[in-house]
Amino acid sequence: MATDTIQRPRARRTTPSPRARRRAGSRNNLAGLMFMTPWLLGFVFIVGGPVLASLYLSFTDYSLLGSPEWIGWDNYVLMFTTDDRFFASLKVTVTYLLVSVPLVQVFALALATILNRGVRGLPIYRTVYYIPSLIGGSVAIAILWRFVFAGDGLLNGILGVVGVDTSTSWIGEPDSALYTLVILNVWQFGAAMIIYLAGLRQVPNELYEAATIDGAGTMRRFWSITLPMLSPVILFNVLMNMVGAFQAFNSAYIISNGTGGPADSTLFYTLYLYQRGFVDFDMGYASALGWFLLVVVGLAALALFRLSRRFVFYAEES
């Protein structure tokens, strides 16, 4: 329409006629629909639908050979009353989380802080620390880890060289097996470190300068300036790390050979879910486990956000 010719971009901001607005609105809806088609299909069939189907299945007994049989709350009752492995897997997963997430953040933040002082060769250090994050979730590394911590493995070999003679199988003893997985997770602190590095760069220098003038020492500056300014980044990292820890699978599977052993000490929740669903083919029960995981992760995330309101400081607020 000739009258709609726009002279300056800003001119558009005057209220368009209702008819034009409706037409623009409906045109946008159509365009929106078309662009969103993949996502919508994906959501229905690959995400949303399955979430609901999973809920339905959790109330059934289904083993692939046959059809789902409605059994009401039985699966959940079983889960919470007689299933020892369920509680064992929760314990293992939560322990893993509570130990490795803070460790990862501490390492990442510590090293980011040190590197941020303008250390020479920063790119090299950054690369070296980051590469483990890239490959840490792979089967190859899990295999390597199995070998490093075996009774006749690399760690014991190195200890032997420095005079400590031991043939403890770190992955074979229930008391230590989980911690080899924790170490594997901490080994991958590089990604978090890079995020912290970027975050540190965003902290305005003048804050530090002002604080130094006021007489604040290094630690004081760290606690009162760096941490608060970094808190959104910390929140993000902790959240992502936590969600990742709940879903960890590869390392436990490879190192324990799919068993979650020894004595269920590496039975991550996801590994237990996999066993029930794809080894025992108890798909109703596995769906119940999946839904419970959903609830737990949701609650954990919620708790994290609640906590964040107290501790996270966004620079936009004064």
Nearer to other proteins, 98 or 158 (CB): 158
Q: Which is nearer to other proteins, 16 or 50 (CB)?
A: 50
For the CB of residue 100, give the shortest distance to other proteins in the complex, in Å.
15
Q: Which of 1, 65, 164, 219 binds other proteins (CB under 8 A)?
A: 65
- The residue from 72, 205, 217, 219 that contacts other proteins (CB under 8 A) is 205
Distance of alpha carbon 203 from alpha carbon 111, whole angstroms: 16
Among 73, 257, 299, 311, which residue interacts with other proteins (rule: CB under 8 A)? Answer: 257
CA 166 – CA 187 distance, rounded (Å): 23
Does residue number 3 form part of the binding site for other proteins (CB under 8 A)? no
Residue 45 binding other proteins, by CB under 8 A: yes
Residue 151 sits in the site that holds other proteins (CB under 8 A): yes
Q: E-strand spans in the chain? A: 60-61, 69-70
Question: For other proteins, which is the closer residue by CB, 39 or 223?
Answer: 39
Name which position in 23, 56, 87, 106 contacts other proteins (CB under 8 A): 56
The torsion of the CA quartet 263, 268, 269, 272, rounded to 10 degrees, works out to -50
Check binding of 165 to other proteins (CB under 8 A): no
- Distance (Å, whole) CA 135 – CA 187: 10
| Distance set, CA 281 to CA 68, 250, 254, 272, 286 (Å) | 12, 20, 20, 12, 8
Q: Figure out which of the listed residues 98, 106, 131, 299 binds other proteins, where binding follows CB under 8 A.
A: 131
Q: Name which of residues 94 to 113 contact other proteins (CB under 8 A).
A: 111
Count of chain residues binding other proteins (CB under 8 A): 143
* Contact flag: residue 20 with other proteins (CB under 8 A): no
Cβ within 8 Å of residue 248, ≥6 positions away? 93, 96, 181, 185, 268, 270
Residue with tokens 């630690």: 219
